[in-house]
Chain A
Amino acid sequence: MKSALFLLPFALVPFFANDFWLVQIFGRALILGIIALSLTFLAAYLGVVSFAQATMAGVAGYTVAYFGPNTVDVGREMPFFVVLPLAMIMATLSGAIIGLIARRSQGIYAIMITLAIGVAFFYFTRQNYNYFNGWTGFSGIRAPEIAGTSLREPLPFYLLIILVSALCLLFVNGFIKSPLGLTIQAVRDAPKRVLAIGIPTTPVIVSAYAFAGFIAGSGGILNVWYQERISSFSVGLGPIVDILVIAVIGGLKNPIGAFIGALAFVLLDTFAVDFIDRERFNTLIGLVLLAIIMGAPDGLHGLAKSWLSRFKKRPSENQV
Chain B
Amino acid sequence: MFTNLKTITMTSALALGAFAAPASAEDIKIGVISILEGAFAALGQDGIRGVELAVAEAGGEVAGNEIEVIVMSSDASPDSAVNAARKLIEQDGVDIIVGPLSGSEGLALRDLSKSFPAVTFLNGSSAAQDTTLRDASDNFFRFGGDGAQWMVGVGSFAHDDLGYEKVAVVAEDYSFPYTQVLGFMTEFCAAGGTVPEKFWTPIGAKDYSSIVYSIPSDVDAVFVALGGADAVNFLTQYNQAGGDKPIIGGSITIDQSILDSEGPFKQQLIGAPAGTPTVSDYDGAEWKEFTASYTGQFPDGFSAPSIFAHHYYMSAHAAILALEEVNGDLSGDQAAFRAALTDLEFVTPTGGTMRLDENRNGIVDNFVTEVFEREDGTLGNRVVKVVRDVDQSLGQDPAAFLAQGPVSRDNPSCP
Q: Which A residues lie at the B interface, using CB under 8 A?
A: 2, 5-10, 12-13, 16-21, 24-25, 71, 123, 126-127, 129, 134-137, 139-140, 227-229, 231, 233-234, 236, 238, 254, 256, 259-260, 263-264, 267, 270-271, 273, 278-279, 281-282, 300-301, 304-305, 308-309, 312, 317-318, 320
Given A127-B202, A233-B77, A260 and B7 touching (CB < 8 A)? yes
Counting CB contacts under 8 A, is B266 at the interface?
no
Counting CB contacts under 8 A, is B208 at the interface?
no
Nearest-CB residue, chain B, relative to A312: B3
What is the bound-complex CA distance between A231 and B45, given in angstroms?
25
Assess the B175–A136 pair: CB atoms within 8 A: yes
Assess the A71–B1 pair: CB atoms within 8 A: no
A135 — which chain B residues lie within 8 A by C-beta? 104, 173-175, 203
Expressed in whole angstroms, the minimum distance between the Cβ of B187 and any Cβ of chain A is: 25
Assess the A233–B4 pair: CB atoms within 8 A: no
From A16, A227, A304, B3 is in contact (CB under 8 Å) with: A304
From A6, A71, A318, B111 is in contact (CB under 8 Å) with: A71
Assess the B3–A9 pair: CB atoms within 8 A: no
What is the bound-complex CA distance between A19 and B41, given in angstroms?
30
What is the bound-complex CA distance between A71 and B135, given in angstroms?
10
Assess the B82–A9 pair: CB atoms within 8 A: no
What is the bound-complex CA distance between A301 and B11, given in angstroms?
11
Assess the A9–B9 pair: CB atoms within 8 A: yes
Expressed in whole angstroms, the minimum distance between the Cβ of A149 and any Cβ of chain B is: 16
A309 — which chain B residues lie within 8 A by C-beta? 3
Nearest-CB residue, chain B, relative to A20: B90
Assess the B12–A10 pair: CB atoms within 8 A: yes
Given A20-B90, A279-B45, A227 and B79 touching (CB < 8 A)? yes
What is the bound-complex CA distance between A231 and B202, given in angstroms?
15
Q: Which of B14-22, B286-294, B306-314, B379-387 contacts A (4 or more CB under 8 A)?
A: B14-22
Assess the B90–A18 pair: CB atoms within 8 A: yes
Assess the A233–B8 pair: CB atoms within 8 A: no
Assess the B83–A8 pair: CB atoms within 8 A: no
Assess the A273–B12 pair: CB atoms within 8 A: no
B76 — which chain A residues lie within 8 A by C-beta? 233
Q: Which of B67-75, B254-262, B369-377 contacts A (4 or more CB under 8 A)?
A: B67-75
Assess the A229–B79 pair: CB atoms within 8 A: yes
What is the bound-complex CA distance between A231 and B203, given in angstroms?
15
Expressed in whole angstroms, the minimum distance between the Cβ of B4 and any Cβ of chain A is: 6
From A129, A137, A229, A318, B82 is in contact (CB under 8 Å) with: A229
From B11, B19, B174, A21 is in contact (CB under 8 Å) with: B19
A20-B87, A260-B11 are known; give 13 further A-B pairs, CB within 8 A.
A5-B1, A127-B202, A135-B104, A139-B111, A229-B78, A267-B15, A273-B36, A273-B72, A279-B41, A281-B36, A304-B3, A304-B10, A320-B1
Q: Which among B10, B71, B108, B409 has the greatest number of chain A C-beta atoms within 10 A?
A: B108
What is the bound-complex CA distance between A25 and B12, given in angstroms?
11
Expressed in whole angstroms, the minimum distance between the Cβ of A28 and any Cβ of chain B is: 8
Counting CB contacts under 8 A, is B357 at the interface?
no
A254 — which chain B residues lie within 8 A by C-beta? 4
Assess the A9–B12 pair: CB atoms within 8 A: yes
Assess the B203–A308 pair: CB atoms within 8 A: no
B2 — which chain A residues lie within 8 A by C-beta? 317-318, 320
B79 — which chain A residues lie within 8 A by C-beta? 227, 229, 231, 233-234
Query: Chain A: interface secondary structure?
Result: helix
From B4, B77, B83, A24 is in contact (CB under 8 Å) with: B83
Nearest-CB residue, chain A, relative to B128: A136
Q: Which residues 1-58 in B have Cβ within 8 Å of A in the complex?
A: 1-12, 15-16, 18-19, 36-37, 41, 45, 48
Assess the B8–A9 pair: CB atoms within 8 A: yes
Query: Chain B: interface secondary structure?
Result: helix
Assess the B202–A139 pair: CB atoms within 8 A: no
What is the bound-complex CA distance between A264 and B7, given in angstroms?
12
From A16, A127, A231, B104 is in contact (CB under 8 Å) with: A231
Assess the A233–B78 pair: CB atoms within 8 A: yes
B9 — which chain A residues lie within 8 A by C-beta? 9
Counting CB contacts under 8 A, is B91 at the interface?
yes
Assess the B16–A17 pair: CB atoms within 8 A: yes
What is the bound-complex CA distance between A318 and B107, given in angstroms?
53
What is the bound-complex CA distance between A205 and B33, given in angstroms?
44
B83 — which chain A residues lie within 8 A by C-beta? 24, 270
Assess the A20–B91 pair: CB atoms within 8 A: yes
Assess the A273–B73 pair: CB atoms within 8 A: yes
Can you list 13 A-B pairs with a CB-CB distance of less than 8 A? Answer: A5-B5, A9-B12, A21-B15, A231-B77, A233-B80, A256-B4, A260-B7, A263-B11, A267-B18, A270-B91, A304-B4, A318-B2, A318-B3
Assess the A6–B174 pair: CB atoms within 8 A: no
Expressed in whole angstroms, the minimum distance between the Cβ of A55 and any Cβ of chain B is: 16
Counting CB contacts under 8 A, is B388 at the interface?
no
Assess the B73–A281 pair: CB atoms within 8 A: yes
Assess the B5–A6 pair: CB atoms within 8 A: yes
Expressed in whole angstroms, the minimum distance between the Cβ of A182 and any Cβ of chain B is: 21
Given A123-B202, A135-B104, A135-B174, A8 and B5 touching (CB < 8 A)? yes
Nearest-CB residue, chain B, relative to A256: B4
Assess the B3–A139 pair: CB atoms within 8 A: no
Assess the B86–A24 pair: CB atoms within 8 A: yes
Expressed in whole angstroms, the minimum distance between the Cβ of B153 and any Cβ of chain A is: 27
What is the bound-complex CA distance between A12 and B18, given in angstroms?
17
Nearest-CB residue, chain B, relative to A22: B90
Expressed in whole angstroms, the minimum distance between the Cβ of A119 and any Cβ of chain B is: 12
List of 5 A-B pairs having minimum Cβ-Cβ separation, nearest first: A20-B90, A320-B2, A233-B77, A135-B174, A304-B7
Q: Which residues 342-400 in B have Cβ within 8 Å of A in the complex?
A: none
What is the bound-complex CA distance between A134 and B22, given in angstroms?
42
Assess the B3–A317 pair: CB atoms within 8 A: yes
Expressed in whole angstroms, the minimum distance between the Cβ of B145 and any Cβ of chain A is: 20
What is the bound-complex CA distance between A36 and B214, given in angstroms?
45
Expressed in whole angstroms, the minimum distance between the Cβ of B367 and any Cβ of chain A is: 28
A282 — which chain B residues lie within 8 A by C-beta? 37
What is the bound-complex CA distance between A212 and B74, given in angstroms?
30
From A12, A134, A137, A279, B173 is in contact (CB under 8 Å) with: A134
What is the bound-complex CA distance between A304 and B319, given in angstroms?
49
A270 — which chain B residues lie within 8 A by C-beta? 83, 87, 91
Nearest-CB residue, chain B, relative to A231: B78
Expressed in whole angstroms, the minimum distance between the Cβ of A233 and any Cβ of chain B is: 4
Assess the B8–A6 pair: CB atoms within 8 A: yes
